Amino acid sequence: MKTHAKQTSALPSLNSLRAFEAAARHQSVTQAARELSVTQGAVSRQIKQLEAQLGIILFYRRHRKLRLTDQGRLLLPQLSQAFDIMTRAVSQIQDQQQDLSLKVHPTFAIRWLIPRLYRFQSQYPDIRVRLTTSGVNVNFSQENFDAGITHLATHQPGIRREQILQERLVPVCAPSLLNSGPSLTCPEDLRHHTLLHNSPDLKEWQAWADQRGVTGLSLERGQVFEVDDAALQAATSGLGIALGDVFLIRDELDAGRLVAPLGMDPIRTGHYYFSMPTANKTRRGVRLFGDWIKSALARDIRTQ
């Protein structure tokens, strides 16, 4: 007993169908090539290949102008609909499952972002946030991050920066240090205490001394750390005096783990920025996270 296999016709290549659809929609090989980011010659070859495979003529070509044949007019709307369906399907998948990779300044991450990140994840469970912390600002030309929270960043071509927080620094220490150490009632008394630095360049304590008009501080005698948070942890343990951002150490101040012996009049040294390649600004995850972090920061600042 003979069986007859179902006859199936091989579909033309996707590239040739795409070339025809774009050229037919624009009625121009030049505009189709521009849309598809290929040469005009490549578009023409793909269309000729499609016509040869189908055994029909799709365009009348006269003086570099395109006019669809009856067969071409029949094929165009079906192809346009098919490509629209594929585009929507791919976009839907991309929107449903997204990884958002962020490089974040460690002090900002530890003292503000991480304790609140669950709120963003609860609101957008389909966007998986992947954090990398580093005291070195993200270099988008060499690192594969969607966005970053940077500190004291400089302008770079092709990078969009949005200021999200101004840094305001005050000297802080553990309460026990005031009970057991030398007096600390005026800025000059800092000469008798260990200064805790958050970087080897000692620049923040130098900026504080310059803005307060304090001279004679032995900055080199202090203890040097790589990041703000390490210096603040050392201050909490009673090792010395650190500079802390008023906003980011609010929990420690409220709980009494840190005190500001010289008052709460801060110096202003820089800013935190939400940064991204300009091409990423419309990406769903980047856009939603940027909107959320600005709103959450503004709310917390208002309640302080």
pLDDT tens per residue across span 174-232: 999 988 878 889 998 888 889 999 888 888 899 998 998 888 888 888 889 888 889 99
Q: What's the topology of domain 167-270?
A: D-Maltodextrin-Binding Protein; domain 2 (3.40.190)
> How many residues would you count in the chain?
304
> What pLDDT does 7 receive?
44
The architecture CATH gives domain 14-95? Orthogonal Bundle (1.10)
Chain segment 242-288, per-residue pLDDT in tens? 999 999 999 899 999 999 999 988 998 888 999 999 988 888 899 99
Q: Would you say domain 98-159+276-303 falls under CATH 3.30.2010.30?
A: no
- In one-letter notation, the amino acid at residue 94 is Q
Mean pLDDT across 146-161: 83
Of the candidate ranges 2-16, 68-82, 113-127, 171-185, the one whose mean pLDDT is the lowest = 2-16
Please provide residue 98's backbone torsions phi and psi, each rounded to the nearest 5 degrees: -135, 140
> What pLDDT does 4 receive?
45
Alpha carbon 220 to its chain's center: 36
Which tokens hold the place of 266? 């801060």
> What sign does the CA torsion over 200, 103, 267, 238 have?
negative
User: What pTM was estimated for this model as a whole?
Assistant: 0.64
d(CA 58, CA 47): 8
Task: State the burial class of residue 64 (Cβ atoms within 10 Å of its Cβ: 0-12, 13-18, 19+).
Answer: exposed
Instruction: Assess contact for 235 and 242: CB atoms under 8 A.
Output: yes
d(CA 192, CA 215): 13
d(CA 153, CA 156): 9
- Burial code of 252-263, b = ≥16 C-beta within 10 A, e = fewer? bbeeebbbbbbe
Mean pLDDT across 106-117: 92
Task: Quickly tell me which residue has 């999200």 as its tokens.
Answer: 164
Mean pLDDT across 75-102: 79
d(CA 297, CA 126): 22
Instruction: Assess contact for 171 and 260: CB atoms under 8 A.
Output: yes
Coil/strand/helix, residue 270:
strand
Residues of the chain with CATH 1.10.10.10: 14-95
Residues of the chain with CATH 3.40.190.10: 98-159+276-303, 167-270
Alpha carbon 173 to its chain's center: 33
Instruction: Assess contact for 181 and 298: CB atoms under 8 A.
Output: no
Alpha carbon 24 to its chain's center: 39
d(CA 242, CA 9): 75
Coil/strand/helix, residue 230:
helix
